[in-house]
A and B are shown apart, each in its own frame.
Chain A
Protein backbone atom coordinates (compact mmCIF):
# COMPACT_ATOMS: atom_id res chain seq x y z
CA UNK A 1 0.00 0.00 0.00
CA UNK A 2 1.28 3.47 -0.85
CA UNK A 3 1.36 6.04 1.94
CA UNK A 4 -0.05 8.76 -0.29
CA UNK A 5 -1.83 8.23 -3.59
CA UNK A 6 -3.08 11.11 -5.68
CA UNK A 7 -5.09 10.52 -8.86
CA UNK A 8 -6.05 13.27 -11.32
CA UNK A 9 -6.43 15.75 -8.48
CA UNK A 10 -7.67 19.25 -9.26
CA UNK A 11 -8.63 22.25 -7.19
CA UNK A 12 -10.19 25.54 -8.28
CA UNK A 13 -10.81 28.67 -6.23
CA UNK A 14 -13.36 31.34 -7.01
CA UNK A 15 -12.36 34.96 -6.49
CA UNK A 16 -14.44 38.08 -6.92
CA UNK A 17 -13.43 41.53 -8.09
CA UNK A 18 -15.31 44.84 -7.87
CA UNK A 19 -17.49 46.26 -5.11
CA UNK A 20 -20.88 46.92 -6.69
CA UNK A 21 -20.61 44.92 -9.89
CA UNK A 22 -18.96 41.78 -8.70
CA UNK A 23 -17.21 39.59 -11.21
CA UNK A 24 -16.47 36.01 -10.27
CA UNK A 25 -13.37 34.36 -11.61
CA UNK A 26 -12.23 30.75 -11.31
CA UNK A 27 -8.56 30.19 -10.59
CA UNK A 28 -6.97 26.78 -11.09
CA UNK A 29 -4.68 26.00 -8.18
CA UNK A 30 -4.09 22.34 -9.04
CA UNK A 31 -4.71 20.47 -12.27
CA UNK A 32 -4.54 16.77 -12.95
CA UNK A 33 -1.97 15.96 -10.24
CA UNK A 34 -0.85 12.32 -10.01
CA UNK A 35 1.55 11.13 -7.34
CA UNK A 36 2.45 7.97 -5.38
CA UNK A 37 4.52 8.20 -2.19
CA UNK A 38 5.83 5.09 -0.46
CA UNK A 39 5.63 4.46 3.31
CA UNK A 40 8.70 5.81 5.11
CA UNK A 41 9.65 8.08 2.20
CA UNK A 42 10.81 11.66 2.69
CA UNK A 43 9.25 13.35 -0.30
CA UNK A 44 9.81 16.95 -1.35
CA UNK A 45 7.51 19.22 -3.30
CA UNK A 46 9.26 22.16 -4.89
CA UNK A 47 7.75 25.08 -6.68
CA UNK A 48 7.55 28.86 -6.90
CA UNK A 49 5.01 30.89 -4.89
CA UNK A 50 1.46 30.22 -6.01
CA UNK A 51 2.42 26.94 -7.70
CA UNK A 52 -0.08 24.94 -5.62
CA UNK A 53 2.18 23.43 -2.93
CA UNK A 54 0.17 24.67 0.04
CA UNK A 55 -3.15 23.80 -1.61
CA UNK A 56 -1.99 20.21 -2.14
CA UNK A 57 -0.74 19.94 1.46
CA UNK A 58 -4.04 21.24 2.81
CA UNK A 59 -6.07 18.82 0.71
CA UNK A 60 -3.96 15.88 1.92
CA UNK A 61 -4.26 17.00 5.54
CA UNK A 62 -8.10 17.24 5.22
CA UNK A 63 -8.30 21.02 5.58
CA UNK A 64 -9.49 21.55 1.98
CA UNK A 65 -11.65 19.55 -0.40
CA UNK A 66 -10.45 18.82 -3.93
CA UNK A 67 -12.58 20.03 -6.85
CA UNK A 68 -11.87 16.90 -8.90
CA UNK A 69 -9.96 13.62 -8.74
CA UNK A 70 -9.13 11.84 -5.51
CA UNK A 71 -6.42 11.50 -2.91
CA UNK A 72 -5.76 8.76 -0.39
CA UNK A 73 -3.49 8.87 2.63
CA UNK A 74 -2.71 5.50 4.28
CA UNK A 75 -5.37 3.99 2.02
CA UNK A 76 -8.07 6.37 3.29
CA UNK A 77 -9.90 8.87 1.14
CA UNK A 78 -9.19 12.43 2.31
CA UNK A 79 -12.80 13.45 1.63
CA UNK A 80 -14.78 10.48 2.92
CA UNK A 81 -12.65 8.97 5.69
CA UNK A 82 -11.54 12.02 7.65
CA UNK A 83 -12.64 10.55 10.97
CA UNK A 84 -10.32 7.55 10.61
CA UNK A 85 -7.53 9.45 8.89
CA UNK A 86 -7.10 12.53 11.09
CA UNK A 87 -5.72 10.71 14.16
CA UNK A 88 -2.98 9.17 11.98
CA UNK A 89 -1.59 12.28 10.31
CA UNK A 90 0.22 15.35 11.56
CA UNK A 91 0.55 18.74 9.92
CA UNK A 92 2.95 21.59 10.36
CA UNK A 93 2.19 24.78 8.48
CA UNK A 94 4.95 27.37 8.30
CA UNK A 95 4.77 30.79 9.89
CA UNK A 96 4.02 32.23 13.29
CA UNK A 97 0.27 31.59 13.31
CA UNK A 98 -1.39 28.39 14.50
CA UNK A 99 -0.26 28.61 18.12
CA UNK A 100 -1.83 30.02 21.28
CA UNK A 101 0.57 32.84 22.03
CA UNK A 102 -0.75 33.56 25.51
CA UNK A 103 -0.17 30.00 26.65
CA UNK A 104 3.11 28.26 27.31
CA UNK A 105 4.72 25.93 24.78
CA UNK A 106 3.92 22.98 27.03
CA UNK A 107 0.26 24.03 27.35
CA UNK A 108 0.01 24.28 23.56
CA UNK A 109 1.27 20.72 23.07
CA UNK A 110 -0.84 19.41 25.95
CA UNK A 111 -3.98 20.91 24.42
CA UNK A 112 -3.35 19.26 21.07
CA UNK A 113 -2.60 15.98 22.87
CA UNK A 114 -6.15 16.21 24.24
CA UNK A 115 -7.61 17.10 20.84
CA UNK A 116 -5.81 14.14 19.23
CA UNK A 117 -7.22 11.90 21.97
CA UNK A 118 -3.76 10.87 23.19
CA UNK A 119 -4.19 8.94 26.48
CA UNK A 120 -2.81 10.92 29.48
CA UNK A 121 -0.30 8.20 30.41
CA UNK A 122 1.14 8.45 26.88
CA UNK A 123 1.13 12.25 26.66
CA UNK A 124 2.85 12.57 30.06
CA UNK A 125 5.82 10.70 28.60
CA UNK A 126 5.64 11.99 25.03
CA UNK A 127 5.44 15.74 25.69
CA UNK A 128 8.86 15.97 27.46
CA UNK A 129 10.36 13.73 24.75
CA UNK A 130 9.10 15.99 21.97
CA UNK A 131 10.24 19.13 23.77
CA UNK A 132 13.66 17.51 24.11
CA UNK A 133 13.66 16.49 20.42
CA UNK A 134 13.07 20.06 19.26
CA UNK A 135 15.27 21.61 21.95
CA UNK A 136 12.58 23.54 23.81
CA UNK A 137 12.76 21.84 27.21
CA UNK A 138 14.27 24.87 28.98
CA UNK A 139 11.70 27.33 27.60
CA UNK A 140 8.65 25.03 27.61
CA UNK A 141 6.87 26.80 30.45
CA UNK A 142 7.25 30.31 29.03
CA UNK A 143 4.50 31.98 27.02
CA UNK A 144 4.79 31.45 23.27
CA UNK A 145 4.56 35.21 22.65
CA UNK A 146 8.14 35.48 23.93
CA UNK A 147 9.49 32.81 21.57
CA UNK A 148 11.65 33.58 18.54
CA UNK A 149 10.37 32.58 15.12
CA UNK A 150 12.61 29.51 15.11
CA UNK A 151 11.30 28.41 18.51
CA UNK A 152 7.71 28.80 17.34
CA UNK A 153 8.50 26.68 14.30
CA UNK A 154 10.03 24.00 16.51
CA UNK A 155 6.93 24.09 18.68
CA UNK A 156 4.83 23.60 15.54
CA UNK A 157 6.84 20.46 14.79
CA UNK A 158 6.49 19.11 18.33
CA UNK A 159 2.76 19.76 18.16
CA UNK A 160 2.51 18.02 14.78
CA UNK A 161 4.14 14.92 16.28
CA UNK A 162 2.01 14.69 19.42
CA UNK A 163 -0.19 11.90 18.01
CA UNK A 164 2.86 9.98 16.72
CA UNK A 165 1.53 10.25 13.15
CA UNK A 166 2.37 7.79 10.40
CA UNK A 167 2.40 10.60 7.84
CA UNK A 168 3.63 14.10 8.52
CA UNK A 169 2.89 17.10 6.27
CA UNK A 170 5.42 19.91 6.55
CA UNK A 171 4.50 23.04 4.63
CA UNK A 172 7.59 25.24 4.25
CA UNK A 173 8.75 24.54 7.81
CA UNK A 174 11.97 26.56 7.57
CA UNK A 175 10.56 29.64 5.87
CA UNK A 176 11.86 32.86 7.42
CA UNK A 177 14.28 31.10 9.76
CA UNK A 178 17.91 32.11 10.15
CA UNK A 179 20.43 29.58 8.76
CA UNK A 180 21.24 28.06 12.15
CA UNK A 181 17.60 27.60 13.16
CA UNK A 182 16.82 26.16 9.70
CA UNK A 183 19.70 23.69 10.00
CA UNK A 184 18.52 22.61 13.46
CA UNK A 185 15.04 22.06 12.10
CA UNK A 186 16.36 19.99 9.19
CA UNK A 187 18.16 17.80 11.73
CA UNK A 188 14.83 17.25 13.49
CA UNK A 189 13.17 16.34 10.18
CA UNK A 190 15.91 13.80 9.42
CA UNK A 191 15.48 12.34 12.91
CA UNK A 192 11.74 11.90 12.31
CA UNK A 193 12.49 10.22 9.01
CA UNK A 194 14.88 7.83 10.79
CA UNK A 195 11.99 6.92 13.06
CA UNK A 196 10.08 5.65 10.03
CA UNK A 197 7.66 8.50 9.39
CA UNK A 198 6.45 9.23 5.89
CA UNK A 199 7.19 12.91 5.37
CA UNK A 200 5.66 15.18 2.75
CA UNK A 201 7.71 18.37 2.70
CA UNK A 202 7.07 21.48 0.64
CA UNK A 203 9.79 24.04 0.17
CA UNK A 204 11.22 26.47 -2.25
CA UNK A 205 14.71 26.03 -0.92
CA UNK A 206 16.49 23.71 -3.34
CA UNK A 207 19.38 22.90 -1.00
CA UNK A 208 16.89 21.84 1.65
CA UNK A 209 15.15 19.37 -0.61
CA UNK A 210 18.53 18.19 -1.94
CA UNK A 211 19.77 17.54 1.59
CA UNK A 212 16.64 15.90 2.95
CA UNK A 213 14.50 14.24 0.31
CA UNK A 214 14.70 10.88 -1.41
CA UNK A 215 12.43 12.03 -4.24
CA UNK A 216 11.26 15.39 -5.36
CA UNK A 217 8.39 16.69 -7.46
CA UNK A 218 8.43 20.11 -9.07
CA UNK A 219 5.03 21.75 -9.27
CA UNK A 220 4.38 24.76 -11.43
CA UNK A 221 1.08 26.51 -12.15
CA UNK A 222 -0.78 23.68 -10.45
CA UNK A 223 0.78 20.90 -12.52
CA UNK A 224 3.52 18.44 -11.70
CA UNK A 225 6.40 19.28 -14.02
CA UNK A 226 8.74 16.48 -12.91
CA UNK A 227 9.09 13.70 -10.33
CA UNK A 228 12.49 12.16 -9.70
CA UNK A 229 15.34 11.74 -7.24
CA UNK A 230 17.39 14.88 -6.50
CA UNK A 231 20.46 13.28 -8.14
CA UNK A 232 18.53 12.39 -11.33
CA UNK A 233 17.13 15.89 -11.29
CA UNK A 234 20.67 17.31 -11.10
CA UNK A 235 21.76 15.10 -14.03
CA UNK A 236 19.51 17.26 -16.21
CA UNK A 237 22.21 19.88 -15.89
CA UNK A 238 25.23 17.57 -15.61
CA UNK A 239 26.74 18.85 -18.85
CA UNK A 240 26.40 22.44 -17.73
CA UNK A 241 28.93 24.57 -15.94
CA UNK A 242 27.81 27.51 -13.91
CA UNK A 243 29.77 30.74 -14.04
CA UNK A 244 29.00 33.23 -11.28
CA UNK A 245 29.98 36.79 -12.04
CA UNK A 246 29.55 39.49 -9.43
CA UNK A 247 29.44 43.06 -10.70
CA UNK A 248 28.39 46.51 -9.51
CA UNK A 249 26.25 47.58 -12.44
CA UNK A 250 25.05 45.05 -15.01
CA UNK A 251 23.45 46.88 -17.93
CA UNK A 252 20.17 45.38 -19.24
CA UNK A 253 21.64 45.46 -22.74
CA UNK A 254 24.64 43.40 -21.60
CA UNK A 255 22.30 40.88 -19.95
CA UNK A 256 20.32 40.54 -23.19
CA UNK A 257 23.52 39.91 -25.11
CA UNK A 258 24.62 37.31 -22.55
CA UNK A 259 21.27 35.50 -22.83
CA UNK A 260 21.58 35.55 -26.62
CA UNK A 261 25.08 33.99 -26.51
CA UNK A 262 24.96 30.61 -28.36
CA UNK A 263 26.56 28.68 -25.45
CA UNK A 264 24.40 30.18 -22.72
CA UNK A 265 21.30 28.26 -21.59
CA UNK A 266 20.11 30.68 -18.94
CA UNK A 267 21.15 33.74 -16.97
CA UNK A 268 19.69 34.59 -13.59
CA UNK A 269 20.48 37.59 -11.47
CA UNK A 270 20.14 38.32 -7.76
CA UNK A 271 21.03 41.36 -5.70
CA UNK A 272 23.67 40.80 -3.01
CA UNK A 273 24.47 43.70 -0.69
CA UNK A 274 24.71 46.36 -3.37
CA UNK A 275 26.23 44.04 -5.98
CA UNK A 276 24.59 41.94 -8.66
CA UNK A 277 25.37 38.24 -8.90
CA UNK A 278 24.86 36.72 -12.35
CA UNK A 279 24.55 32.96 -12.61
CA UNK A 280 25.28 31.86 -16.15
CA UNK A 281 24.46 28.27 -17.07
CA UNK A 282 26.47 27.14 -20.09
CA UNK A 283 28.12 23.92 -21.34
CA UNK A 284 31.87 24.59 -21.44
CA UNK A 285 31.31 27.77 -19.51
CA UNK A 286 34.95 28.09 -18.38
CA UNK A 287 36.23 28.56 -21.93
CA UNK A 288 33.61 31.22 -22.54
CA UNK A 289 34.53 33.39 -19.53
CA UNK A 290 36.65 35.85 -21.61
CA UNK A 291 33.71 36.33 -23.98
CA UNK A 292 31.30 36.85 -21.06
CA UNK A 293 33.64 39.46 -19.55
CA UNK A 294 33.87 41.28 -22.89
CA UNK A 295 30.08 41.46 -23.02
CA UNK A 296 30.01 42.78 -19.45
CA UNK A 297 32.60 45.46 -20.11
CA UNK A 298 31.78 48.58 -18.10
CA UNK A 299 29.70 46.60 -15.58
CA UNK A 300 32.46 46.82 -12.91
CA UNK A 301 33.02 43.08 -12.55
CA UNK A 302 34.33 42.24 -9.07
CA UNK A 303 34.49 38.47 -8.89
CA UNK A 304 34.28 35.46 -11.22
CA UNK A 305 33.93 31.87 -10.05
CA UNK A 306 32.86 28.59 -11.66
CA UNK A 307 31.06 25.76 -9.92
CA UNK A 308 29.24 22.48 -10.52
CA UNK A 309 25.48 22.75 -11.14
CA UNK A 310 23.19 22.27 -8.16
CA UNK A 311 19.56 21.27 -7.78
CA UNK A 312 18.76 24.96 -7.91
CA UNK A 313 20.29 25.17 -11.39
CA UNK A 314 18.20 22.20 -12.51
CA UNK A 315 15.14 23.94 -11.08
CA UNK A 316 15.95 27.14 -12.94
CA UNK A 317 16.49 25.20 -16.16
CA UNK A 318 13.17 23.40 -15.73
CA UNK A 319 11.00 26.35 -14.80
CA UNK A 320 12.92 29.15 -16.48
CA UNK A 321 12.35 32.74 -15.46
CA UNK A 322 9.22 31.97 -13.41
CA UNK A 323 11.36 30.25 -10.83
CA UNK A 324 13.25 33.47 -10.31
CA UNK A 325 10.15 35.29 -9.24
CA UNK A 326 9.50 32.85 -6.40
Chain B
Protein backbone atom coordinates (compact mmCIF):
# COMPACT_ATOMS: atom_id res chain seq x y z
CA UNK B 1 0.00 0.00 0.00
CA UNK B 2 2.75 2.43 1.02
CA UNK B 3 4.84 1.37 -1.99
CA UNK B 4 1.88 1.93 -4.29
CA UNK B 5 1.32 5.36 -2.75
CA UNK B 6 5.00 6.20 -3.22
CA UNK B 7 4.82 5.11 -6.85
CA UNK B 8 1.78 7.28 -7.47
CA UNK B 9 3.48 10.25 -5.80
CA UNK B 10 6.42 9.68 -8.14
CA UNK B 11 4.03 9.73 -11.11
CA UNK B 12 2.55 13.01 -9.89
CA UNK B 13 6.03 14.47 -9.39
CA UNK B 14 7.16 13.13 -12.79
CA UNK B 15 4.11 14.59 -14.56
CA UNK B 16 4.62 17.87 -12.67
CA UNK B 17 8.24 18.15 -13.79
CA UNK B 18 7.54 17.01 -17.32
CA UNK B 19 4.75 19.57 -17.71
CA UNK B 20 7.01 22.30 -16.31
CA UNK B 21 9.77 21.41 -18.78
CA UNK B 22 7.38 21.36 -21.73
CA UNK B 23 5.84 24.65 -20.60
CA UNK B 24 9.25 26.30 -20.31
CA UNK B 25 9.89 25.57 -24.00
CA UNK B 26 6.54 27.06 -25.05
CA UNK B 27 7.05 30.75 -25.72
CA UNK B 28 3.31 31.34 -26.17
CA UNK B 29 2.59 29.97 -22.72
CA UNK B 30 5.34 32.02 -21.12
CA UNK B 31 3.86 35.06 -22.87
CA UNK B 32 0.34 34.40 -21.59
CA UNK B 33 1.67 33.86 -18.09
CA UNK B 34 2.99 37.44 -17.96
CA UNK B 35 0.98 39.39 -20.52
CA UNK B 36 -2.60 38.15 -20.05
CA UNK B 37 -2.73 39.00 -16.30
CA UNK B 38 -1.67 42.56 -17.11
CA UNK B 39 -4.46 42.88 -19.72
CA UNK B 40 -7.05 41.33 -17.38
CA UNK B 41 -6.03 43.71 -14.58
CA UNK B 42 -6.07 46.80 -16.79
CA UNK B 43 -9.52 45.88 -18.12
CA UNK B 44 -11.01 44.87 -14.80
CA UNK B 45 -9.67 47.58 -12.53
CA UNK B 46 -10.07 50.20 -15.27
CA UNK B 47 -13.74 49.33 -15.67
CA UNK B 48 -14.43 49.83 -11.97
CA UNK B 49 -12.40 53.01 -11.68
CA UNK B 50 -13.99 54.50 -14.79
CA UNK B 51 -17.38 53.64 -13.32
CA UNK B 52 -16.47 55.71 -10.26
CA UNK B 53 -16.22 52.66 -7.98
CA UNK B 54 -12.67 53.21 -6.75
CA UNK B 55 -13.27 51.12 -3.61
CA UNK B 56 -13.70 48.04 -5.81
CA UNK B 57 -10.03 48.10 -6.86
CA UNK B 58 -8.93 45.16 -4.71
CA UNK B 59 -12.04 43.20 -5.69
CA UNK B 60 -11.14 43.77 -9.35
CA UNK B 61 -7.51 42.73 -8.80
CA UNK B 62 -8.56 39.48 -7.12
CA UNK B 63 -11.04 38.81 -9.93
CA UNK B 64 -8.39 39.49 -12.56
CA UNK B 65 -5.94 37.30 -10.65
CA UNK B 66 -8.45 34.46 -10.64
CA UNK B 67 -8.96 34.91 -14.38
CA UNK B 68 -5.21 34.51 -14.81
CA UNK B 69 -5.23 31.43 -12.58
CA UNK B 70 -8.09 29.94 -14.58
CA UNK B 71 -6.34 30.72 -17.81
CA UNK B 72 -3.05 29.18 -16.79
CA UNK B 73 -4.49 26.20 -15.01
CA UNK B 74 -7.78 24.96 -16.43
CA UNK B 75 -7.58 26.37 -19.92
CA UNK B 76 -4.18 24.74 -20.27
CA UNK B 77 -5.61 21.45 -18.96
CA UNK B 78 -7.88 21.39 -22.00
CA UNK B 79 -4.89 22.05 -24.19
CA UNK B 80 -2.94 19.26 -22.43
CA UNK B 81 -5.45 16.59 -23.44
CA UNK B 82 -5.67 17.96 -26.97
CA UNK B 83 -1.88 18.13 -27.22
CA UNK B 84 -1.45 14.55 -26.00
CA UNK B 85 -4.02 13.37 -28.54
CA UNK B 86 -2.33 15.22 -31.41
CA UNK B 87 1.11 14.06 -30.32
CA UNK B 88 -0.03 10.43 -30.24
CA UNK B 89 0.86 10.10 -26.55
CA UNK B 90 -2.72 10.00 -25.20
CA UNK B 91 -3.15 6.29 -25.95
CA UNK B 92 0.29 5.59 -24.41
CA UNK B 93 -0.73 7.39 -21.22
CA UNK B 94 -4.12 5.72 -20.99
CA UNK B 95 -2.66 2.26 -21.68
CA UNK B 96 0.01 2.73 -18.99
CA UNK B 97 -0.46 1.18 -15.54
CA UNK B 98 -1.08 4.63 -13.99
CA UNK B 99 -4.69 5.84 -13.90
CA UNK B 100 -5.00 8.82 -16.25
CA UNK B 101 -6.50 11.17 -13.61
CA UNK B 102 -3.32 10.70 -11.53
CA UNK B 103 -1.24 11.80 -14.53
CA UNK B 104 -3.54 14.80 -14.93
CA UNK B 105 -3.10 15.70 -11.23
CA UNK B 106 0.65 16.13 -11.75
CA UNK B 107 0.23 18.14 -14.93
CA UNK B 108 -2.57 20.31 -13.54
CA UNK B 109 -0.73 20.97 -10.26
CA UNK B 110 2.25 22.06 -12.29
CA UNK B 111 0.05 24.55 -14.12
CA UNK B 112 -1.58 25.62 -10.85
CA UNK B 113 1.79 26.55 -9.38
CA UNK B 114 2.72 28.36 -12.57
CA UNK B 115 -0.53 30.29 -12.25
CA UNK B 116 0.78 31.81 -9.01
CA UNK B 117 3.13 33.80 -11.23
CA UNK B 118 0.15 35.29 -13.04
CA UNK B 119 -1.37 36.19 -9.66
CA UNK B 120 1.80 38.02 -8.65
CA UNK B 121 1.81 39.87 -12.02
CA UNK B 122 -1.82 40.86 -11.43
CA UNK B 123 -1.12 42.31 -8.00
CA UNK B 124 2.00 44.07 -9.27
CA UNK B 125 -0.02 45.63 -12.13
CA UNK B 126 -2.65 46.82 -9.66
CA UNK B 127 0.02 48.36 -7.46
CA UNK B 128 2.06 49.97 -10.21
CA UNK B 129 -0.56 51.00 -12.80
CA UNK B 130 -3.36 52.10 -10.48
CA UNK B 131 -1.48 52.72 -7.22
CA UNK B 132 -4.07 50.62 -5.44
CA UNK B 133 -3.72 49.92 -1.77
CA UNK B 134 -3.85 46.16 -1.51
CA UNK B 135 -4.65 45.81 2.18
CA UNK B 136 -5.40 42.18 3.01
CA UNK B 137 -7.47 41.96 6.21
CA UNK B 138 -6.45 38.39 7.12
CA UNK B 139 -3.19 37.43 5.35
CA UNK B 140 -3.08 33.89 6.84
CA UNK B 141 -6.62 33.13 5.70
CA UNK B 142 -5.76 34.69 2.33
CA UNK B 143 -2.77 32.38 1.75
CA UNK B 144 -4.69 29.28 2.87
CA UNK B 145 -7.67 30.27 0.73
CA UNK B 146 -5.33 30.75 -2.22
CA UNK B 147 -3.81 27.28 -1.79
CA UNK B 148 -7.24 25.68 -1.41
CA UNK B 149 -8.43 27.56 -4.48
CA UNK B 150 -5.53 26.21 -6.52
CA UNK B 151 -6.21 22.66 -5.28
CA UNK B 152 -9.92 22.98 -5.97
CA UNK B 153 -9.29 24.33 -9.48
CA UNK B 154 -6.86 21.47 -10.08
CA UNK B 155 -9.55 18.96 -9.02
CA UNK B 156 -12.04 20.74 -11.29
CA UNK B 157 -9.41 20.37 -14.04
CA UNK B 158 -9.45 16.60 -13.47
CA UNK B 159 -13.19 16.43 -14.14
CA UNK B 160 -12.84 18.52 -17.28
CA UNK B 161 -9.63 16.75 -18.38
CA UNK B 162 -11.28 13.32 -18.03
CA UNK B 163 -14.26 14.47 -20.08
CA UNK B 164 -11.96 16.05 -22.67
CA UNK B 165 -10.51 12.63 -23.50
CA UNK B 166 -13.81 12.05 -25.32
CA UNK B 167 -13.43 14.99 -27.67
CA UNK B 168 -10.84 16.09 -30.19
CA UNK B 169 -11.78 19.76 -29.62
CA UNK B 170 -10.93 20.05 -25.93
CA UNK B 171 -8.92 23.27 -26.35
CA UNK B 172 -11.68 24.91 -28.38
CA UNK B 173 -14.27 24.03 -25.72
CA UNK B 174 -12.12 25.62 -23.04
CA UNK B 175 -11.62 28.72 -25.15
CA UNK B 176 -15.37 29.06 -25.69
CA UNK B 177 -15.99 28.53 -21.97
CA UNK B 178 -13.51 31.21 -20.81
CA UNK B 179 -15.77 34.26 -20.59
CA UNK B 180 -18.95 32.41 -19.49
CA UNK B 181 -16.87 31.00 -16.61
CA UNK B 182 -15.46 34.45 -15.76
CA UNK B 183 -19.03 35.83 -15.58
CA UNK B 184 -20.61 32.82 -13.82
CA UNK B 185 -17.87 32.77 -11.17
CA UNK B 186 -18.16 36.46 -10.39
CA UNK B 187 -14.64 37.20 -11.58
CA UNK B 188 -15.69 40.06 -13.90
CA UNK B 189 -18.84 41.30 -12.13
CA UNK B 190 -20.23 40.73 -8.63
CA UNK B 191 -22.27 37.53 -8.31
CA UNK B 192 -25.24 39.58 -7.03
CA UNK B 193 -26.00 40.86 -10.51
CA UNK B 194 -26.44 37.33 -11.92
CA UNK B 195 -30.02 36.15 -12.50
CA UNK B 196 -31.25 33.74 -9.80
CA UNK B 197 -31.59 30.81 -12.19
CA UNK B 198 -27.86 30.92 -12.97
CA UNK B 199 -26.78 30.81 -9.34
CA UNK B 200 -26.92 27.00 -8.93
CA UNK B 201 -24.49 26.76 -11.85
CA UNK B 202 -22.19 29.31 -10.22
CA UNK B 203 -22.21 27.38 -6.96
CA UNK B 204 -20.64 24.25 -8.46
CA UNK B 205 -17.69 26.09 -10.00
CA UNK B 206 -14.39 26.16 -8.13
CA UNK B 207 -13.47 29.73 -9.26
CA UNK B 208 -16.70 31.06 -7.66
CA UNK B 209 -15.74 29.83 -4.21
CA UNK B 210 -12.07 30.61 -4.66
CA UNK B 211 -12.96 34.18 -5.52
CA UNK B 212 -15.32 34.42 -2.51
CA UNK B 213 -12.73 32.91 -0.14
CA UNK B 214 -10.06 35.35 -1.30
CA UNK B 215 -12.53 38.25 -1.14
CA UNK B 216 -13.62 37.29 2.39
CA UNK B 217 -10.06 36.91 3.69
CA UNK B 218 -9.14 40.24 2.11
CA UNK B 219 -12.05 41.81 4.01
CA UNK B 220 -13.98 42.75 0.87
CA UNK B 221 -17.07 40.75 1.83
CA UNK B 222 -18.51 40.05 5.25
CA UNK B 223 -18.48 36.22 5.03
CA UNK B 224 -16.22 34.04 7.16
CA UNK B 225 -13.31 32.88 4.92
CA UNK B 226 -12.80 29.65 6.91
CA UNK B 227 -16.37 28.52 6.19
CA UNK B 228 -15.84 29.14 2.48
CA UNK B 229 -12.53 27.26 2.71
CA UNK B 230 -14.42 24.26 4.12
CA UNK B 231 -16.77 24.47 1.17
CA UNK B 232 -13.74 24.52 -1.16
CA UNK B 233 -12.43 21.34 0.48
CA UNK B 234 -15.82 19.63 0.09
CA UNK B 235 -16.05 20.75 -3.52
CA UNK B 236 -12.53 19.40 -4.22
CA UNK B 237 -13.45 16.00 -2.79
CA UNK B 238 -16.63 15.95 -4.87
CA UNK B 239 -14.61 16.77 -8.01
CA UNK B 240 -12.18 13.92 -7.23
CA UNK B 241 -15.04 11.47 -6.84
CA UNK B 242 -16.70 12.65 -10.05
CA UNK B 243 -13.38 12.47 -11.96
CA UNK B 244 -12.81 8.91 -10.76
CA UNK B 245 -16.25 7.69 -11.79
CA UNK B 246 -16.25 9.71 -15.00
CA UNK B 247 -12.86 8.49 -16.18
CA UNK B 248 -13.81 4.82 -15.83
CA UNK B 249 -16.70 5.45 -18.19
CA UNK B 250 -14.61 7.65 -20.48
CA UNK B 251 -11.88 4.99 -20.76
CA UNK B 252 -14.48 2.38 -21.69
CA UNK B 253 -15.95 4.67 -24.36
CA UNK B 254 -12.65 5.61 -26.00
CA UNK B 255 -11.49 1.98 -26.05
CA UNK B 256 -14.84 0.91 -27.48
CA UNK B 257 -14.97 3.63 -30.14
CA UNK B 258 -11.25 3.65 -30.95
CA UNK B 259 -11.23 7.43 -30.66
CA UNK B 260 -8.04 7.90 -28.63
CA UNK B 261 -5.89 8.44 -31.69
CA UNK B 262 -8.35 10.40 -33.81
CA UNK B 263 -7.56 14.10 -34.01
Q: How far is the CB of B65 from chain A (nearest CB, A)?
A: 28
B91: Cβ under 8 A from any A Cβ: yes
Q: Nearest chain-A residue to B13 (Cβ)?
A: A114
Alpha-carbon distance between A163 and B95 when the two chains are bound, in angstroms: 13
CB-defined contacts of A114 to chain B, threshold 8 Å: 10-11, 13-15, 98
Assuming the contacts A63-B95, A98-B89, asked whether A117 and B11 have C-beta atoms less than 8 A apart, the reply is yes
Interface string of B86-98 (1 = CB under 8 A from A): 0111011111111
Q: Are A100 and B258 in contact (CB under 8 A)?
A: no
Interface residues of B, count at CB 8 A: 30
Q: How far is the CB of A76 from chain B (nearest CB, A)?
A: 13
Interface string of A96-127 (1 = CB under 8 A from B): 01111111000100111011110110000000
Q: Are B256 and A65 in contact (CB under 8 A)?
A: yes
Alpha-carbon distance between A178 and B242 when the two chains are bound, in angstroms: 48
CB-defined contacts of A63 to chain B, threshold 8 Å: 91, 94-95, 255, 260-261
Alpha-carbon distance between A83 and B94 when the two chains are bound, in angstroms: 11
B140: Cβ under 8 A from any A Cβ: no
Interface residues of A, count at CB 8 A: 33
Q: Are A103 and B255 in contact (CB under 8 A)?
A: no
Q: Are A99 and B11 in contact (CB under 8 A)?
A: no
Interface set, chain B 80-134, CB cutoff 8 A to A: 87-89, 91-98, 103
Q: How far is the CB of B220 from chain A (nearest CB, A)?
A: 41
Among listed A32-40, A87-95, A222-230, interface-contacting one: A87-95
A281: Cβ under 8 A from any B Cβ: no
> Please, could you name 18 A-B residue pairs with CB atoms under 8 Å apart, sorted by A?
A63-B94, A63-B95, A63-B255, A63-B260, A83-B97, A86-B96, A97-B88, A98-B87, A98-B88, A100-B18, A100-B87, A100-B89, A101-B87, A107-B18, A112-B96, A115-B96, A116-B98, A120-B10
Interface residues of B, Cβ cutoff 8 Å to A: 7, 10-11, 13-15, 18, 21-22, 25-26, 87-89, 91-98, 103, 252, 255-258, 260-261
CB-CB nearest 5 A-B residue pairs:
A97-B88, A114-B14, A98-B88, A115-B96, A117-B7
